[in-house]
Every structure is written in structure tokens, then in C-alpha cells.
Structure 1
């Protein structure tokens, strides 16, 4: 019976009512050891009539086993996995070792678990109860919390009980904090456990010192003698220590063979009674030895072996001698099937090893390979770390330590990776191993911290690798190029020129060259010899990345840099094709960690091409991915989309935050993009002096180092300077821009150059340049820039008093800007039209009927559905279950008064939003 706990029980009762009504909930039950979390979970389970209940209990000894907790939860439900989308189903099976295949992305496994829970809950509400989550393996915790955060309307409850304090990242989940019992209930509980009458002042002291903790109250009553209670000399002490002491007193009073049997049970993590009795038989133990412990309440050997509390298990284990523990693990290793459970067997053998043992270390390494194949880097790292400890030969030991550090890094455990690197470097490393540790430190500096030191560290590692591994050295040079481009000025401490010079001198691994090799040579040539010299090699490299023979792994790794290079040389078609391929590969292969970067690239392409509705829609998807995976936010796309859309307040919020972060950190490319976006926005608002002020910081930067953002800054600088009476400054920027545009020779590049040159030309030369810009940009699909060319030409014609001619260009620019949703530019064109004596035609507004208005998420889902995606495909993109998509689409159909996807596709304008300018923002 639960004493009090009325508020807590009400929370749990409401949770059950909600999931029975068709919604989902996640709840973290948090409290100190012994406060009654498990009792509340039992109360919850007792109220789940009509629901399916699945339970998971964290076991400390399984902290390093791949997906051990997730396996506990999902194994009884795997028969419902077949309806899942193929990639998710394959990832789930691979994670559990049920199917051979490439290592699955952990977030794809998370999506599969989310889909599996939703599938199971179709029959009846599903309640997942997870106790002692602090003892779950890292991979299981990551995926269970991922699933808990993505629950919406599946009739699923996930309740996670965790000890306080804890180190788990459970942010974003609702919490139920469980404290001690109120004084009256605490005294009642204590009184029920005491033997005889006790002085009231002693009772007061016990209640006070225990802070109402139920387990502390019960153990104080159980373990205290009558004399201690009468005298008041007992000490409640620190709670865990007091409870441990109580258990220890009960254990030491047992016969020796009973203690040996209890130790065996404590060392066996899965609570398998068959395994326990087999191991006990090897040690000469039997039923008779279990009786005293069962009578004492220290163990319950039924279908599952259970202890009264996790502390009982740990006390039993620690109270034994090292030799006794090894004997127990040895017995368990001998009875564990090496074919069906090789990893637990390896773990038991490792615990039984009296010292270094290469045979056991090899077995642990094989377990690490299996964990890696299942997409569980955290478990792979733990096996490798233990294998290194048992390895005899020093260089092999160091190699395994470095490999463990690499897996820690992949699992996002940066501090642990650095600790292992320090440990490895203190050992006996050969030159290749030292170069590998340098490379890993540099990669951590780049990917985990975006350190300004990353380009220099990668350059150092690449030079060290040259005589040892030419292929890896060249890959590292390419990583250094990426890091330097991301760092940019002022953070680019490696120097692109220095990296390019070293890369050009590096030997080739072996012919023929792959796409990445070609890209490195092309980038190095452009940096060292200029745009024109590097163009033939650059086009050859980009062609290799567009080839259908490009290996998927190479594409996932380098398509971002290849796309960035295409943008730098003004190849908009190639840039779009590479960005599309990057997103497609990331989705098809389930590379969810890569997906935010791929989506960001595609959003920027959409934006530059003037496809602002598509960019905004994809930006929502990118936000969903980032939120779901905890990936770092990349504001480049958000800044450009908001600035092009003319959403002044939203744009400046992102720009200011990015500028502040980039100045204090090392995100040079983000700083340059923020300046580009700010200048573009100011120019769209005809605030040219502010645009000039924005670009002052980096107007000296080389476009070849910063690529498209720097060229964008140059373009905005030319327009702002020319229209604010500073033609000399505009001409200077034009000279620097021309170096890139002339070398490229594409219609996009030459159209931008012609438009920019027209701004600083005399009237007789300006008009043909404007016409050339319009013609070239009209062939390039860069609609926003084409509309700007019409706008600038129309403004020039009006200033030349050619009002009738001006109207045509201004009318075109206003129509295009309105159509693509460039609000501020549309208003600028409208004002110019009014100065010619013609009013701009306002685009049609949506119906003001609020009953038909969709929420932001409904708009997004409706858009994806109208594009032909299935519910499962939409769910995978938005990191929710397919049942959530079904629920949203039902609401969309009701609001739009339609009954089919066909009707949805026939009316896409209903959910793309209005391009009408918002006065409060423009």
C-alpha cells in the first residue's frame, strides 16, 4: 500500500487517461535512492487494465553491452516489426544482431523503435516502464529518450525512473520529482516496521534524519537493535551508506555457500535462473544454499532472478573478494553460449581474467566489431577499452586504446575520447599510431568544438601521415580545407594557402584518382594559382561527384564540399544536383547525423534559385532533424531565407545571434553569411548605408577563400556603394568579383557581373549591361537575381526619366518577387512602380476563414503529402511516427474540406502561405 503520494498518483492516473484517449506521453520519475520510485511504477502498472505493459530494468553490469536496455524493451514486440519501412526495419534488426548489413545510424534505429511502439499500440495502449535508467547502456538511453521526445498521438506512454542525481540527458521531458513522505506518513511507515514501543523523540530523530525516505525508514527499523532504539544511539547516516550497511549486515550473517550463490546471482546481469543454476552446479552449489537468502528476503529466484533493491546486488558484489568474483565470472562464462551470446561471455571472461590475457582481449575486440556493426559505438568503445587493458604487447595495447578513443568520438563522448588519447600517447606508439592520434585530436577539435585550431591541427596530422599512409594523408588535407573554409577569417589559423601548398606537394595514393582526390587537387590549384587556372580541374572533379559510380560513403563525406565548390565557381545546375544527391544519400542510407548539413546545403540552393517556399518548407524539416538528433544548429540557411523573404525582425534575430556567436567562436563562414544576409536585407529595404556598414568588416576578404558568401557580400557591396554615391568603392569591389565570374563563364556568373557593372557604368554603357544581365540570368534559373536585375534596370530607367520603359521591368520584378515570397524586394518594386504613376497589383490573399487555416506543422505535412510522399516517408523526414502523420492529415482534410490526397495535390496554394508583404515587418 502506498502511504500518501496522492499528487504523484494523480499524475500517473492522468497519464493513463491521456494515452487511453489516443495521445502519447513521456514522463521522467526522478528521486533519490529509496524514495519510492519503484513503488510508484508498481502502482502505475496495477492501473493499466486494457493496456499492454513492457518493462525494462537497468542493470549496472550491462552498461557496456550494445542496446541491452533497448533489447529488453523491444524483444517481446519484434513480431510487429515487419510493417515498418524497409530501412528502419533493417536498421532495427541490425542493431539487435538479427540481420547482417551495414552499421545502422542510431537515429534510424530510434525511428524504427518509434514506429514499432506505434504499431504495437494500434491494438491497445502501450505503457513502457523503465526503472533504474541510470544503469542502462548509453546507446539505449540515447534512443529511448529520442523516442520519448518524438511521441505525439500513438497511445504510447514511456515512463523513465532515474535516481537523483544522475548524468543522463533527459532534457525536454516532463518530470515528476518524488520526495520523502510527509511526517505523519513517515512515522506511520516507521511504526509499522518497528519491533516494540520506541521513545517518541527517537522516532522524531529517525524521521527527520531520513527526510521521509521510505527505504531509509524501513532499513533503520530493520537493522537497529532494541538497545539502539531505546538509547537513541543509532545513526541514520548518509542514505546510500546506511542502506548498504543494512544489507551488508544481513549478508554476512548467511552461510558461506549461500553468499557464494548470491554473488553468482549478482554477477549474472540478465536474471536468468537457468544460467544461474548451471553456473551454481559448476561451483557445487544447489537449492539448499538458496534457502537462507530467500527466507531473509535478499533474493527471489522465480522466472527471473530478482534482488529487493539494486543496492543489494552491488553490496553483494563488492563485499566479495576479488578471487571470489573472478571465480563467479569464470563459471558464468563457461555456461554462457558462445554462439548465441558471445558478447556476455567475453565480458564474463574479461572479469575473470587475473591479468593480461591476449586470448580474452581478442574475444573482446571481436565483440567490439559486432557492436560497431550494430551501430553502437559506445559499446564498441567499452569493449575495446577493456581489450586494451588485457593486451600484453604494448603497441597492440596502444592501437586498441586509440581505436577505443575513435569509437568514443563517434558516440559523441568527447571527454572520454580525449582521456583515452592521452592514455595512448603515454604508451608505446609507432609513428603511424602517433599520426592517427594527432588526426583524431584534430577531428575532435573540428567536429565537436569547431575550434579555430582545427585547420592547423589537421594540417599537422596530414603532413605527419604523408610518408605513412598517402591516402589517409590526402583525405586529411581535404578535411583541413573544409575546416579552414568553415573557420574562415578571422578564425582561419591554418591558412588555406598553406594547406593548399602542402596538399599539392603530397604524393598520390595510387592511380586512378577518385572524386575526393580530384577535388583536393582542384581546390588547391584554385587557391594557389587563381580561379582561371583551377577551372578545368574543378569541372573534372565536379563531374566525378555527379557520376552514378560515386561510392555512397565518399558521397556522404564529401558532397558538401563538392557542392560548396560548385557554388564558388557559379555552377548552379551542378550545385543543385550535388545538393539533391547529398540529401538523397543521407535519407536512403539512414545517415541522420549527416542529414542536417545536407539539408542546409539544399536550402541555400533553393534560396539562391529564388525558390523561397521550398526553402522555407525544407528549413522546417531541417529544424525537426536538428531537434530530434541534438545536432548543432547551422543558422546559414535560416539567415538567408529570412533575409530574402524580407522578414526583418526574424532575420535580424538570427543574424545578430550568429554574429555574436561567430565573433566569440570560430565560425567564420557563419559570420560572412550573416554579413551577406544583413547587407542583402538592408539593400532590399533601400537602406544602402546600413548595407555598406555591414560589409565593412570583411570587404577585404578573398572570395576564393570564402566562396559564395564572400561573392554575395561583394555583390551587395557593389549595389549599396553605387546607389549611395560611392562609385569608387563599388568599382573596387567589382574588380575583385570579376576575377571569379570571368573564370567561371556561366550565365549566372556573367549575369551577376553584367548587372553589377551596369551599376557603376555611364548611361550609354549601362543599358546594354542591364539587358545582358537579364538575358543571362533568365537562362540560369536564378529567379531572385533575375528579378533584381529587372528591379535595378527599372529604377535606372525611371531615374533616366524613361517612365514607360521602367514600368515594364518594375512590373516584372514585382510579380516575380511576389510570386517567390521576397516581401521586402516586392515592396521596393511596388514603391518604384508608384513613382512611375502605376499602382502595383497586390497578389491574391488566402481566404480569411480561420477555420481553414492550418498550423505550421499541418502546412508542412500537407505540402509533403501533396508532393506524393507516403505517410511513412513523411514520418521519417519529420522524425515522428506514421500514426502522428495520419492524425495531422485527418485534421488537414477536415480544415480544407477535402477527402483525398488527390484533392490535396490539386490545391497546393491552400497551404503554401501568402506572399503578401507583412506591413509590421517590412
Structure 2
């Protein structure tokens, strides 16, 4: 036996057994909750008693034999170890007396202690037979689980203890505490015994739990796991051993107890890679063993506690189980003493799961049904009641429907998506056709998009059927329109829009939805299908700024419409920033927030767009929902691409594709594919780019803004691989569609500059000049990236000699907006310009600077294009020093080295001063000293391997 934290109790029992032959009888009652070691203690007593020469008679009470007369006392008399030693005829006499006792007991109430179940002379004779088995030696009578002993046996045992008080007899009784566990009269008689000792076995402490662990794991692991093991087991030895069994049964731990999750037993490691205690099948089975070995009332209360969970109280449990509150309170104390519960709830979610799984389906549903009715009468909050309604799968009336709808509304606000969806599905099955059913269908569609967009189709079909049948509420029509447009079902969307305007009038939700600029600019072809006369005029940005409030969707829609129809507008960007600052991410605001990010992108505020996109992505990850994370990742990929960071663009775009299946992406997949094609093209990975062009896309993609992006990306790939004519056709097609749709702005797709470059390759200089000048005229204030790109192409078209200054202006703009790839192109053009002017040193400096940036951006094709202008030497910092060649940087101070490095790559003194936050005079002084130390006379002769990180 393990004497962990049982030293005092065992010392007392040893004292009882010591010199028992010379002492009168002793009675010991070992009390304790279920599975706290009572049986183990009695087994140890039996071993020690036999070792000391005592005759040991044992019996165990069984629940099934609680009404079987003489079941326990018969075990003592017919003990197999002693029967063979009895004189002839004793066994037969014992059997006759037991039969006599049973016959008498059968005529009595089996639950009444006050009736005489066994006649006195029979009890006297049975006591004599019991003592005779000792054959002159001390006697030990051990009865475990006395709470299950039948009344006739207890009366006989009670008689024997009184008659044998002066004999060398030790009686040890194991008694489980709990409701209904004791027989009151028997307990009262025990207290009258002059030599009674009562032991109460308490749960193990944390140190004892650590000692049990130490027998199976090393000291450090035992000390680390002991607090969690004690917390989960409550010190119940059976549960502690179950946890140890789960620990040893897994090579890796099953579940970190510091963050338990219900019903899981997947092996895990702790944060530092150390082993953590598992909670698995052994623990689950031990929980059920504790409950089924206890009283029926305790098991019932455990089941009620599992069903009610946080709503459990003495009153609710009593009402749910039809028990009196005293029995419930005692059962709760018993569960806590057994280590199953703490502070009114299960110590581990797996315990609750085990109890629920142990219920039959019919019993569980009945308990949940009764719980829902009970909690509703007691005025519980709707979510509390709704969980039980959902568990039953039945809606019994209008009140239940109200509870489900209210719970779904709250759950959406509290981000409990699974509960909201469960409530809506059940409400949809029970709700009749009408406005409320429309709201339910619309909410289900929103949640489907958020959680699993690939399942949106059936919800849209249900909304469409309701619309066709004429009972879809006005407020649900925009949800239907949005879903149809996303899936590229434009003809259906146009039909719904036309009918919706006729049905609900000009001031309807349909009209407001169409008036939003985001719809007009994202699905520009829809206006042609609906008809210009039926399409409402969008709100102007001036009106939005004057209003200073309103629906974020309409405000951002007006800003997006302004940017894509009239050009970049600082007011539109400010509106987008305001909406991003003041709007919380939700199903209703996701479209507005992504549109606001698009406004910042088209206004070339890429840094702000990246910041807000990262903020929203963190929020989407915290709240969960692929339908949120995917579009935000796609927008972040677009930002990275426009910043010239092709590797990051690929990473974000692939992440977006991983969140949603191709079927769930709808027309939005066009933007993701466009980013991937453009990014791989920029990195010279043409085969990968071509593979994404073969990806299946919805038929309606070509009628959307995303289709324009993909068409432009395909043109870029054609251009990079030398297919000039297909590339030109793609760019001109972009221009034709954008002009027809009224979204002809270079911030969306700079088709003119791209087409101009293709015309240059085919000798169409005049057409190229016309296109690039038109694009330059469309570049609004603040569009540094778009303007810089246009200036570069203008310089290429007009001749690099004539527009040398335009390239410097483009480079200065690009350094502000952080587009590294376009900066490489501009620097490359400036290098070629210097080369054409015979300024070879400057040409090399520009080419080397551009090469460094292109190398970091993994733009391999651009690197190859720059090598000839750098004399075939990519960077002095990348070649090994020649023998005998000293390092010029060794003679310079850190400040001089930073200034010289920037100067070697063509930066002006003013630019260097701005980058290093020093004055122009200080720059001039540093350069003077640098020229002297390095023995050079001009900037062109400075080496380029002074400080690679600054130069980049």
C-alpha cells in the first residue's frame, strides 16, 4: 500500500492491531468520499492483521445487494478461507441460521431499521458462529462499503459488536460519505461503542500528489506537474493515478492543463517544449467510475451540473432533477470532496464531457428541454436558455424563436459565431415565411461568408427563392445582391436590382446599396445591365465631408467612387482614414473597411494602408473567420506589391488563398491571382506566373475591377516574356473597358504607360508619347507612385537625354512612397541616361544602387538588365577584396562613411542631409575630409563598398 499522506491514519490502525489478543474489542470506522483510498486502507489492514496472526473475515457491501437479506453477514460466516477449518456440521448449521434470518427479513420492510429483521436468538447463534471461526485467536472483521449493507446484516453486525465487546476482536468498517450513505440507527449504535475510532480520509495534498508523480517521472517534472495535477484531480488518488496513466500512455503529453480544452486528448507540448500532464481516456473513465460507484443522487446532480453548466445553482438543480435542495447541496459537497468539482463546476472540461457522453441521447435531450423551460421561468438571459433549446433541436413556440433570435444577435456582437449559427439554423427550420425568416436567412448568409464562404451558394439560393416568392424583406435584398455579385452571377443580380427597385420604390435599401460607390466601381458592368436610368447617382465626396457622419459603407463608397472616377482626392483619403479609425471589424463593416483600404492604396498612401491592414488582420485572426482573413490578406498582398516587395506579396496572396477554397472566392480571386502573376513576373519566375493564369476563374470576372487587375497582370507577363503584341492588346483592352465604365484612372490600372512601353518596342513613338502625356495629366495631387511611374515612361518615350530631370523627380517621389521595384526601374533609366550622356561613372553608380535594391527584392530579371550598365560588376560590396587592396572604410569615421556611401550612389548633399538628419554644411565638411583621406577629387570616384546597408 502507498502511505502517501496517510501516515497518521496508518499509525492509528497499527496501534489497534498491536497486542489485539490482550485487548477488548475495538471498532474503527474509515470514512471518506468515493475513491479516496478506503478500500486500499482496508486491504492493508487485512494484510497486517494476517501477518500478526489474526483471523480475518471480510465482506463488501454492494449496491445491487442492498435489499438482499444477510448478503454482507453471510460473506463473513461463509468466508472461503475459514469454511474448510470448521467442525463437521457447522456449515450446515450456518446455512440453516442464515436461511431462517432471511425468511424473517423477507417479511419486514427492507428499508426500515426500526423493525426487527432477525430474531434475537438467531442473531445470538450467528454471533457465536462468527466468533467460533477465530478458533481461540484474535479476530479481525473487515466490512467495506458499509453504506450498501442490507439492514438484516447491519443488525446482526451491531448485535455481534455488542456481544463481543470483551473479546479480542477488531472491527474495521469502510464507509463512503454522501447523501443517503449512512443508516441512522446503525450509526447511532456505533457511537455507543466504548472503543470507537473514526478516521476521515481527506483528499491528497499537493505534496502527496507530487510524491505519487515522483514514482513515475523525474523530480523536476513531478514538481512542475504537481500543481496542475492536484488542481484537476482535487487530490482524489484515483484521479491522480488516472492522470499518471495518461501521462505514461503517451510519448508526448495530451493536453496542457494550464489551458484545458474540453474533450481533447491530442498530444501536445508546453510552451518551452517540456512535457505536460495529459488528460485523456483514463481520466475520463475514472470520473465515471467515481460517479457510478456513488449514490444515485450524486450521479443525478453531476448530470444536472453538466447540463446546466454555468447556470447551475442549488435551486436550478433541485428544480431540474426533482430533488430537495438539501440533497442537492449534500451531493454538491460530495462531488467537491471527491475531487470532481470545485467552486460549483467541474474541475476539468473533460469531466463534464464524460458525464454528458454517459447520458443516453433521449435523457440528454429531456434534461436540456427541462432546463430550457426552467431557466426561462427563472428569467435567465436568452443565450443561457438558447443553448438548451439548441441542444434539444426543437423550437416549441414563439417564445423559443424570440430567444434564438435574440441570442444570435448577441452572439454576433460577442463574436460567439458557433452559437449564433446554431441558433439561426434552428430558427430557420421553425420560423414561418415572412420578415423574420428573411432576417434569419440574411444572417445565415453573412455567417456562411465569414466562416466557410464555399457554403454560401445554398444560402443565396434560399434568399433568391424567397425573393421570387415575394416574401423576402427589403433589408435582406442587399445581402442577396452582394452574394450574387461576389459569385459573378451578374444577370441574376441585375434582375433582382430592377425588381427590387420596382417593388420597394426609389428610397429603398436596394437603391441605397446601388448608390454606394463601392458597388459601382467594383462591378462597373452591372450599371449597364441594370440600366443607367435605374442607377442612382453616387454621393459626392464634398457631401460626405460636409455631413461628417453616416453609414461607413456609403461614406467609403463615395470616396472610392471619387478616386476611381475623378482621380486621387486628399478628402477621399481622409474619409477612408476616418472610417478605418472609427469602425470596428464585423460582418456588416468588412466590405466598407476593405474599400477604405483600397482608397488609401489608390491614393498612394501605401504606408497607411499597410498599417491599417495589419491592424485589421490581427483583429480578424483574434476573432476568427476565414471570410475576414482572406480578403484582408489579399489587400495586404496588393499593398506589398505596390511597395515593390514581391516576396511578401506572394506570401500574403498565398495566405489569402489558403483561407478560402477557390469555390468560395468568387470574383475576388481575380485580385489575388493578379498579385501573384505580377509578383512572380517581377521576380522573373515566369512559369509560376503562367500557372496562375491557368487557374479557373468565374465567368463574370471580366466584368469586375478584379478582372481589370488580372488582365493588366497578364499583359505584364506577356511584356516580360517578349510577347509585345499580346501585351499591347491586354493593355488596350483594359483602357477600353475602363473608359466605357467610367473608371479610367491610372491609380487603378496604369494601362496608358504600359501600352506606351509596348508602342516603343514596335516603333510607335508618337502614340506612346500621346498616351503617356494623357496619363501624366490624370495624375492627381498626392499620387507620388503613379506620377513617378509616368515620369519614367515619359523620359523613355521622349529620349532619356531630354528628360534627365524627370527621372530625378521620379526617383525623389518613389523614395517617399516606398515602391522599390519602380525605384529600380527609374534608377535603371537614369543609369542609361547617364550612359547616353557619356557619364559612365554616374551610370555605374545608379546601376549598382538599382542592382542592390533589385537583389533584395529578388527581382532577378531587373538585376540582369542592370548588369551591363554596372560594367558587369554588381556591387563592390559583393566581390572579395583583391590582394594588397586596403579597405577605404578603415580610414573613415562612422559618420564620414555613411555620408560617403550615400554620395557614392548619386544622392545630392541635400538628400544626404535629409536622410541622416544633419545639416547640408555638415555633409559638405564630411565629404571634404573623405576626399582628402581617400585621395579622390570628385563624387564619381568614390568607391561603392563603403557601407552596403546605408547604400541600399
User: TM-score scaled by structure 1?
Assistant: 0.51
- List aligned pairs for 1:567-578, cutoff 5 A: 569=565, 572-573=568-569, 576-578=573-575
Distance 1:572 1:272, change over 3 A: same
Question: After the TM superposition, which of the residue ranges 570-579 and 529-538 deviates more from structure 2?
Answer: 529-538
Q: For 1:399-548, what aligned pairs fall within 5 Å after superposition?
A: 423-424=426-427, 427=430, 429-432=432-435, 434-451=437-454, 453-454=456-457, 457-458=459-460, 461=463, 464-465=466-467, 472-473=473-474, 475-488=475-488, 492=489, 496-508=493-505, 515-516=512-513, 518-519=515-516, 523=520, 527-529=526-528, 533=532, 537-540=536-539, 548=547
Q: Which has the higher contact order (CA 8 A, sep 6+)?
A: 1
**Cα displacement (A) at 1:630:** 2.8
Task: Give the 5 Å matches for 1:869-888.
Answer: none
1:818 counterpart residue number? 815
Give, in whole Å, the separation in 1 of the partners of 2:345 and 2:556: 52
Equivalent in the alignment of 1:649: 647
Rounded to whole Å, the distance in 2 between the matches of 1:644 and 1:521 is 21
CA distance in 1, matches of 2:619, 2:235: 38
Distance 1:168 1:276, change over 3 A: farther
Residue in 1 that maps onto 2:728: 730
Aligned equivalent of 1:382: 387
Q: Distance in 1 between matches of 2:377 and 2:747?
A: 58
> Which ranges in structure 1 are unaligned for 5 or more consecutive residues?
18-26, 43-132, 135-144, 146-157, 181-209, 214-238, 330-346, 354-359, 372-378, 846-905, 911-915
Q: Tell me the SS of whatever aligns to 1:160.
A: coil
> CA, structure 1 residues 701+783, in 2 after alignment: closer, same or farther (shift >3 Å)?
farther
Task: Kindly state the Cα deviation for residue 291 of structure 1 after the two structures are TM-superposed.
Answer: 8.6
Query: How many angstroms does 1:787 deviate by?
Result: 1.2
Aligned residue pairs: how many?
A: 620
Matched residues in 2 for 1:37 and 1:542: separation?
Answer: 71
1:337-352 alignment runs, 5 A limit: 350=371
CA–CA separation in structure 1 for the residues paired with 2:661 and 2:342: 61
Shift of 1:795: 1.9
Judged with a 3 Å threshold, the aligned counterparts in structure 2 of structure 1 residues 414 and 13 are, in CA distance, closer, same or farther, namely same
What value does the CA root-mean-square deviation take over the aligned residues? 6.6
- SS of 2:536's partner is helix
Aligned to 2:765: 763
SS of equivalent residue, structure 1 residue 665: helix
Equivalent residues in 2 for 1:85-124 (5 A)?
none
Indicate how the Cα distance of structure 1 residues 609 and 827 shifts in structure 2: closer, same or farther if over 3 A, else same. Answer: same
Measured in 1, the distance between the counterparts of 2:376 and 2:593 equals 42
Deviation at residue 822 of structure 1 after TM alignment? 1.6
1:165 aligns with 2:264: yes
Alignment-derived partner of residue 853 in structure 2: none
Are the equivalent residues in 2 in contact too, given 1:686–1:828 (CA < 8 A)?
no
Q: How far did residue 789 of structure 1 move?
A: 0.6
Residues 696, 278 of structure 1: alpha-carbon distance in 2 compared, 3 angstrom cutoff: closer
State the Cα deviation string for residues 63-110 of structure 1 (Å, max 9, x = none).
xxxxxxxxxxxxxxxxxxxxxxxxxxxxxxxxxxxxxxxxxxxxxxxx
Distance, in Å, in 1 between the alignment partners of 2:277 and 2:529 is: 66
Q: 1:881-902, CA deviations, whole angstroms, 9 ceiling, x for partnerless residues?
A: xxxxxxxxxxxxxxxxxxxxxx
Asked if 1:251 is matched to 2:249, the reply is no
Measure, in 1, the Cα distance between the counterparts of 2:517 and 2:806: 43
- The separation in 2 between residues aligned to 1:629 and 1:171, in whole angstroms, is 24
What is the SS of the residue equivalent to 2:647?
A: helix
1:788, 1:813 within 8 Å by CA — same for their partners in 2?
yes
Q: For residue 626 of structure 1, what is the aligned residue in structure 2?
A: 620
CA contact (8 A) 1:645 1:824 kept: yes
Alignment of 1:135-146 (within 5 A): none
- State the match for 1:671 in structure 2: 669
For residues 267 and 720 of structure 1, the distance between their equivalents in structure 2, rounded to whole angstroms, comes to 61
Q: Assess if the C-alpha contact under 8 Å between 1:646 and 1:822 holds in 2.
A: yes
Q: Secondary structure at the match of 2:547?
A: coil
Whether the 8 Å CA contact 2:605–2:817 is kept in 1: the answer is: yes
Q: Which has the larger radius of gyration?
A: 2
Q: 1:791 to 1:32 in 2, by over 3 A?
A: farther
Equivalent residue number for residue 740 of structure 1: 738
More off after superposition, 664-673 vs 535-544: 535-544
Aligned residue number for residue 899 of structure 1: none
Cα–Cα, structure 1 residues 688 and 495, in superposed 2: closer, same or farther, change >3 Å?
Answer: farther
Q: Do residues 581 (structure 1) and 578 (structure 2) align?
A: yes
Q: SS of 1:178's equivalent?
A: coil
